[in-house]
Each structure stands twice: as structure tokens, then as C-alpha cells.
Structure 1
Amino acid sequence: NVYCEIHPYAKAEAALEAMSPAAIILSGGPESVHEEGSPRAPQGVFEAGVPVLGICYGEMTMCEQLGGKVEGGHHREFGRAEITVEKTSPLLADLAAVGEEETVWMSHGDKIVAIPAGFDVVASSPGSPYAVIADETRRFYGVQFHPEVMHTPRGATMLKNFTHGIAGLSGDWTMAAYRDEKIAQIREQVGSARVVCGLSGGVDSSVAAVLIHEAIGDQLTCVFVDTGLLRKDEATQVTTLFREHYNIPLIHVDASKEFLGELAGQSDPETKRKIIGRVFIEVFDREAGKIDGAEFLAQGTLYPDVIESVSSSSGKAH
């Protein structure tokens, strides 16, 4: 219940300025800090006066940028590990006491060999002498393991300690608040224009369509392209649901003959995928062109897809 956004490091500076975040997490990643062009946090992250948590690679780049030292060529540490708590810290509140062990999940190749001035070791393991580090004055924290995975059994407690305990966030954000905010944004953005939504009947596009309809009503028209490749009776289910249950204007285009005709005789999966994509766009464009005053195209997708399809530099996503 904490509002958060994911931004690639190359665009993080603009996000910092736009958001003025209450806390920052530097994520893990497969790169090495020694690789040319590997991710770095904008210096503004460390000058914003807010708590910062570095996870795995995030801890390494934090150390490297603040005057510590990271070395490559060490034995890769992957899998379950036991870290020993050496010092109390609000990051580990309600977890293992000093001298006790906590189970975590490691996944890294480089190794931190020196931490920046102002940091203390909070927990260590034989393979990771700096498994948890903290600069309590600046509220900078680093963990060498992954608290976000289920293999770190009490990782969620660590994350909540950071967001609620250290950053002082109330945890009162809800999806209902997101819904209200998005409806207001859509109304403002669209004004009196019309919106065309590509509807597949799947979760992503269906949620987007219902949300937009709540915002602008009959200014929305959904276009459902029936490719002839759907499950039995699926086309009927989609049209019935949207027309009769949600009362959303829906154009049902039966283009099954068109799709199946283009696919006839094709056996290569990649060729078929490209044919389906091309024909879908042709059919959709044709139908959308018949809708007067349509100025916006609406698409529904998942947040991870947005992140993965817009890589910051390499054109590839991990």
C-alpha cells in the first residue's frame, strides 16, 4: 500500500525532479559496476535528503559512487545463505537479533571489498562481509541479497521497515485511489474527443476499457477484432459482456476468413506471428477510420511490459 514508480536509471534524474519522492530504492540487476555503460544512480539520489535502499547491484553502485570499492572476479554467490546480524538497525527491526542468523537469497558475481565513509556493517556472511550496510545519519542502506524474492522468507518485513519505519510512509495508498486518480487524468486528457480502444477480451485491455468508460462514457468505442483464432465461444462471451453487462459501445469485427486465408499454408511460427500482427493492424485501422472524431488510441498492458519494452540504453531488457 505504498505508491511507487519504476524508472530506468538513464531517466531517473527527470523522475526525481517530477516526483520529489519520499524514498528511493536502487534495484538489483545482472550488470557489473565494472562494465562500461553499466547503470549508475544520478547524484541527485544521494543529495535528495531521503532514505535510499540499494538492493544487490543497487548496493554495489551505491558503494562505488560514494567512495567504497567493488571488485570483480570473485566466486559467484547464488542461492540460499545465512547472514549474521552484527549491529542493530531499523532496517532489520523485528528480525534476527544481534548474533543471530537470518536466511536470505544471494545472486551476485562482484564483491564489495570496502564500504564508503559513514557506513557500518549491520550483517555479514562468509561470502558477503557487507551483506547489510547502513549509514544511519544519511539513512542510506544496502543489502547484498534480494529481499523481494520469496526465498528471503522475511524480506517483505525488511522492505516494510524501509518504507514505513525509516521513510515514515503511512501505507494508506490503495488501488481505489489509483482508480480515482486515473479517471480524473483521462477526463482531463481526452476532453470532448473520442477514444478508440483495441479490445482483445483479455484482462489488460478489458480493465483499460472499463476504466476509460467510467471516465468518459460513450466517448469510448471498443474495437474487438475476431481473428478466428480464439477459444470456442470466446467472441460471443466478449461481445455479450461488454455490450450487455458494461454497456460499452463495441464494434465486433469478424475477420476470421481474412486471418485464416493469410495463414493458409504457413507453418513457421515467427512467420505466422508477423502475419497475425500485420493483418490485425490492417483490420483495426480500417475500422477505427470509420469512427468520427477519434483522436486517441487506448491500449491496456502490464507495467512490467512497459518497462521491458523501453530499455534505457541497450535496446534490451533483463
Structure 2
Amino acid sequence: DAISAAGKPLLDVWMSHGDKVTAIPADFVTVASTETCPFAIMANEEKRFYGVQFHPEVTHTRQGLRMLERFVIDICECEALWTPAKIIEDAVERLRVQVGNDKVILGLSGGVDSSVTAMLLHRAIGDRLTCVFVDNGLLRLNEAQQVMDMFGDHFGLNIIHVEGEARFLDALAGENEPEAKRKIIGRVFVEVFDEEALKLQDVKWLAQGTIYPDVIESAASATGKAHVIKSHHNVGGLPKEMKMGLVEPL
């Protein structure tokens, strides 16, 4: 991306953590470093093993896509055969195998992740999916009705509409800090969703639209040193005593 004053090549990358690797195996070499991260990239060319301590998948890492393409296509010699249709077919088949003939419940927000999860499950298991839409009072004008119209009337999903505005706003009253608000919203959502799940009979699986950036942003680090970008209630926010299995197709 640039050249330093000393003539060394520089890459702009995105790091969101406070922990770091402090030693690498003897058969690895250091390819890149930062002022605070001595082993930002390491490599063993003989074994074709590579490691990075940043996020090549995000747009902030300007050469990230080229790194991933070089690893997947040039080094691993994979072919770019996947199409969106093939990905959908594979996801639907995996869901059918995982769930079998059981019933599934999903918290549907109307956002991209939970909506994609809902449609994949609906295609895989049909009426054995029940969606729960919780109106937390923080949505855009008429958004709740739009979600119900789209997924209930248009797509024909089983969907339960829960009015939770007063409960959420009471819990948020007086709180100004964004991360604290996210945690409150997540906690109340889990409480409301858990109450609705208990009303349903013979539901064996809980589906979530978790994507891996949710895990990264929540920074569920064993060291406690990773920086939390923002909390997600679908990462570490579920009741420990939950008896349902977890389905996360994304």
C-alpha cells in the first residue's frame, strides 16, 4: 500500500485485539510486523503454512482480498466454482441433515442475517420452522408491520409477533452508553424469546443468523484482552441451561 521512509513496503491492515503472539515455531519466518505486534504474518514456505494476526476479510485491510485469493486459488489450488445457487443448495441440504424431522425456532428481526437464515430453513424444513419477531420499540416507522407482511403474508412463514416496546424502553431508561444499551437489548431479547420458546411444544432446535464477524466483534477471548467492538446477544448471550440444539447455517 505504501513504502516507509526506510524503503520497506507497508500494508494497511485491521487489528481489533490487544493480545498478541509472542513467539513462533522455529521453522517459521516473520513476514510482517507492526510496532506492537512482532509477528503480524508468519510463514513456513516448505510446508505452505501461513498465519496472520489481523483481519484480511474486512475492507479496512486494503490488500485483504488479494491475500485470500492468493491463498485459496494459488497456494491451495482451489477452483472458483462456487455460485450463490450452489451455496444455497449446500446450506439447505446441511440443514435437512442436521435437523431431521425436528421443529426449529428462530428469532427473526427482519435484518439480513436472520432473514437469510429464515429463508434457508423454510426451504429446508417448511412449516416445522417457527419464527419469533420481537418488536422492541426501536424500529423504523412501520417496520414491524413490513416484516410481518413480508415473511408472514408474502413468504408464508410461521411467525409470532411479540409486542415488547414497553419492556425494552423501561430497561433502557436512563442509560446513555452504547455498549451498555446493546447488552440491555440483548438481555431483554433473550428473556422475551425464551418465554415464547417455552410456549411452543416439542421444539428441539434454536436457529440463529450468527456470522463469524459477530464472534470477532463480541471478542469472546479467553485472555480477556481482545477489544470488544460491539456485543451480539447471539454470541455468549444464551441461557446456559438451554436444552435446545443450536443451528447456525451462516
Residue 195 of structure 1 and its aligned partner are, at CA, apart by 0.9
Matched, 1:65 2:50: no
* Higher share in strand: 1
Q: 2:106, 2:129 within 8 Å by CA — same for their partners in 1? A: yes
Aligned residues: CA RMSD? 3.9
Q: How far apart, CA to CA, are the structure 1 residues paired with 2:207 and 2:53?
A: 41
Residue 219 of structure 1 and its aligned partner are, at CA, apart by 0.3
Segments of structure 2 that go 5 or more residues without pairing to the other structure are 1-13, 228-250
Q: How far apart, CA to CA, are the structure 1 residues paired with 2:88 and 2:47?
A: 35
Residue 218 of structure 1 and its aligned partner are, at CA, apart by 0.4
Q: Which of residues 244, 248, 254 in structure 1 aligns to 2:153?
A: 244
Q: How many percent of aligned residue pairs carry the same amino acid?
A: 49
Segments of structure 1 that go 5 or more residues without pairing to the other structure are 1-26, 35-60, 71-104, 113-130
Q: Which residue number in structure 1 is paired with residue 201 of structure 2?
A: 292
Q: 1:309, 1:317 within 8 Å by CA — same for their partners in 2? A: no
Q: Which of residues 157, 162, 167 in structure 1 aligns to 2:71?
A: 162
Q: Which residue number in structure 2 is paired with residue 191 of structure 1?
A: 100
Shift of the 316–213 alpha-carbon distance from structure 1 to 2, 3 Å rule, reads: farther
Q: Which of residues 158, 174, 196 in structure 2 aligns to 1:267?
A: 174
Residue 307 of structure 1 and its aligned partner are, at CA, apart by 3.9
Shift of the 196–154 alpha-carbon distance from structure 1 to 2, 3 Å rule, reads: closer
**Pairs aligned (count):** 210
Q: How far apart, CA to CA, are the structure 2 residues paired with 1:148 and 1:280?
A: 29
Matched, 1:232 2:141: yes
Matching residue's letter, 2:89: D
Matching residue's letter, 1:65: P
Shift of the 313–296 alpha-carbon distance from structure 1 to 2, 3 Å rule, reads: same
Shift of the 209–280 alpha-carbon distance from structure 1 to 2, 3 Å rule, reads: same
Q: Which residue number in structure 2 is paired with residue 207 of structure 1?
A: 116
Matching residue's letter, 1:191: G
Residue 293 of structure 1 and its aligned partner are, at CA, apart by 1.6
Q: Which residue number in structure 1 is paired with residue 223 of structure 2?
A: 314
Matching residue's letter, 1:212: L
Q: How far apart, CA to CA, are the structure 2 residues paired with 1:195 and 1:188?
A: 13
Q: 1:227, 1:254 within 8 Å by CA — same for their partners in 2? A: yes
Q: 2:19, 2:223 within 8 Å by CA — same for their partners in 1? A: no
Q: 1:134, 1:140 within 8 Å by CA — same for their partners in 2? A: yes
Q: How does 1:32-71 map to 2 (within 5 A)?
A: 32-34=20-22, 64-67=24-27
Q: Which residue number in structure 1 is paired with residue 239 of structure 2?
A: none
Residue 242 of structure 1 and its aligned partner are, at CA, apart by 0.5
Q: Which residue number in structure 1 is paired with residue 3 of structure 2?
A: none
Q: 2:104, 2:206 within 8 Å by CA — same for their partners in 1? A: yes
Q: Which residue number in structure 2 is paired with residue 253 of structure 1?
A: 162
Matching residue's letter, 1:240: D
Q: How far apart, CA to CA, are the structure 1 residues paired with 2:42 and 2:181?
A: 52
Matching residue's letter, 2:203: A
Q: How far apart, CA to CA, are the structure 2 residues paired with 1:151 and 1:273?
A: 24
Q: 1:107, 1:145 within 8 Å by CA — same for their partners in 2? A: no
Per-residue CA deviation, residues 37-74 of structure 1 (Å, 9 max, x unaligned), is xxxxxxxxxxxxxxxxxxxxxxxx5xx3125687xxxx
